[in-house]
C-alpha cells in the first residue's frame, strides 16, 4: 500500500503522507551521526545533544500496542552515544549523500547515510537503522536497498563497495554483508520489475495483514480507506 500511495502522491503532486514517531526518532539519530561525521559535533557532546534533541523533537509518546516506550528509546539512545567510539575504525568520506542515478527508464533517488573507507581503501556503505536486528529473510530483502545504493558508489568512485553495513543503533549492533555481484544484479532486476508492476497497476488489492506496519509506520495510516 505504502509504495503505491507514494507513487500516486508523486505523479499527482499530492503530499498526503505523514511521518511517524519512530521515523522522527530515526531522523534525530541520523542528524547527530551526520554532524559528527562532518566534524560539526565532537564525541564528548553526543550524549547531551541526543538528550536535548530528544526532548525537543519527540513531540508525542512512542507507543506500541498500548505500551509507552518513550523512556526505553531515550535510554537506548543514551547508551549508544555513551559507548560510541567513532565509526568503527573507518574513515568517513560522505554523510547523508543524496543522489540520482538512472534505473531503466526511471530515475532512482536515494540518500546514503554514510560512505566510508577502511584501512585498505575499500569502500563501505553504512545505513543507520532504528529497528532491531533483521531475520535472515528480512536481511535479504533489506539488503536490496544498499545494493541499489552501490550503483551510485560505482558511478562516483569507479568501484563497488566491499561491504554493506546496517548500523542498528538502538541495539548497538552492526550487520555486515559482503558485496556480491550476483545479489547486486538481482536487486537491480527486482527494482526494475517493481517499477513496471507499479506503473501497470490497474487494480489495487490491499494487504493490511501487518497490523503493526499499518497502524504505526505507514505514511498513510490516518487516511487509508482500507484500514480496519
Q: Name the average pLDDT for the chain.
A: 87
For the chain, give the number of residues.
228
- Mark whether 161 and 177 lie in a shared domain: yes
Identify the three-state secondary structure at position 213: helix
- Mark whether 118 and 152 lie in a shared domain: yes
- Mark whether 96 and 151 lie in a shared domain: yes
pLDDT at position 34 is: 97
- Mark whether 105 and 173 lie in a shared domain: yes
- Mark whether 100 and 152 lie in a shared domain: yes
Beta-carbon neighbour count of residue 191 at 10 Å?
19
Model pTM? 0.82
- Mark whether 42 and 96 lie in a shared domain: no
Split at pLDDT 50, 70, 90, the class of 211 is: low
- Mark whether 117 and 178 lie in a shared domain: yes
Burial profile 69-94: b = 16 or more Cβ within 10 angstroms, e = fewer? bbeebbebbbebbeebeebeebebeb
How far apart (Å, rounded) are the C-alpha atoms in residues 165 and 195? 25
Could you tell me which residue, 221 or 27, shows the higher pLDDT? 27
> The sheet that has 123-129: what strands, in order across it?
91-103, 106-117, 123-129, 163-168, 173-178
- Mark whether 150 and 65 lie in a shared domain: no
- Mark whether 158 and 96 lie in a shared domain: yes
Number of domains in the chain: 2
pLDDT at 11 over 50: no
* Domain span including residue 134: 91-192
Domain membership of residue 180 (yes or no) is yes
Report the pLDDT averaged over residues 200-217. Answer: 66
Name the packing angle between helices 181-199 and 136-157 (round to 10°): 100
Provide CB contacts within 8 A for 42, sequence distance 6+.
Answer: 36
Structure confidence by residue, pLDDT tens digits, 125-146: 999 998 889 999 999 999 999 9
Structure confidence by residue, pLDDT tens digits, 42-90: 999 999 999 999 999 998 999 888 899 999 999 999 999 999 999 999 9
Question: How far is the first Cα of the chain from the last one, in angstroms, to the nearest whole number?
Answer: 14
Report the pLDDT averaged over residues 104-121. Answer: 95
Among residues 54, 85, 116, which one ends one of the domains?
85
- The enclosing domain of 132 has a CATH number of 3.90.320.10
- Mark whether 81 and 46 lie in a shared domain: yes
- Mark whether 80 and 95 lie in a shared domain: no
Range name among 49-63, 103-117, 177-191, 211-225 with the lowest pLDDT average: 211-225
Report the pLDDT averaged over residues 169-191. Answer: 96
How far apart (Å, rounded) are the C-alpha atoms in residues 11 and 100? 18
Split at pLDDT 50, 70, 90, the class of 158 is: very high
pLDDT at 121 over 70: yes
pLDDT at 10 over 60: no
Report the pLDDT averaged over residues 187-200. Answer: 90
Domain membership of residue 210 (yes or no) is no
- How buried is residue 127: exposed, middle or buried, by Cβ count under 10 Å (0-12/13-18/19+)? buried
pLDDT at position 209 is: 66
Range name among 8-22, 95-109, 123-137 with the lowest pLDDT average: 8-22
Amino acid at each position: 500500500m505504502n509504495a503505491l500511495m507514494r507513487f500516486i502522491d508523486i505523479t499527482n503532486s499530492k503530499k498526503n503522507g505523514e511521518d511517524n514517531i519512530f521515523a522522527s526518532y530515526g531522523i534525530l539519530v541520523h542528524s547527530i551521526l551526520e554532524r559528527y561525521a562532518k566534524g560539526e559535533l565532537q564525541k564528548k557532546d553526543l550524549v547531551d545533544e541526543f538528550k536535548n534533541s530528544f526532548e525537543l523533537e519527540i513531540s508525542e509518546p512512542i507507543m506500541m500496542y498500548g505500551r509507552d516506550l518513550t523512556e526505553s528509546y531515550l535510554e537506548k539512545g543514551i547508551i549508544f552515544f555513551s559507548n560510541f567510539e567513532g565509526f568503527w575504525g573507518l574513515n568517513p568520506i560522505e554523510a547523508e549523500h543524496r543522489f540520482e542515478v538512472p534505473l531503466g527508464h526511471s530515475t532512482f533517488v536515494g540518500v546514503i547515510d554514510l560512505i566510508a573507507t577502511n584501512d585498505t581503501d575499500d569502500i563501505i556503505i553504512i545505513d543507520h537503522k532504528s529497528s532491531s536486528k533483521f531475520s535472515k529473510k528480512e536481511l535479504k530483502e533489506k539488503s536490496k536497498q544498499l545494493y541499489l545504493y552501490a550503483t551510485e558508489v560505482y558511478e562516483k568512485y569507479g568501484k563497488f563497495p566491499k561491504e554493506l553495513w546496517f548500523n542498528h543503533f538502538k541495539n548497538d549492533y552492526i550487520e555486515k554483508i559482503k558485496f556480491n555481484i550476483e545479489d547486486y544484479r538481482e536487486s537491480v532486476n527486482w527494482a526494475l520489475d517493481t517499477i513496471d508492476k507499479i506503473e501497470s497497476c490497474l487494480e489495487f488489492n490491499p494487504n493490511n495483514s501487518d497490523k503493526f506496519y499499518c497502524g504505526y509506520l505507514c505514511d498513510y495510516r490516518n487516511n487509508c480507506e482500507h484500514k480496519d
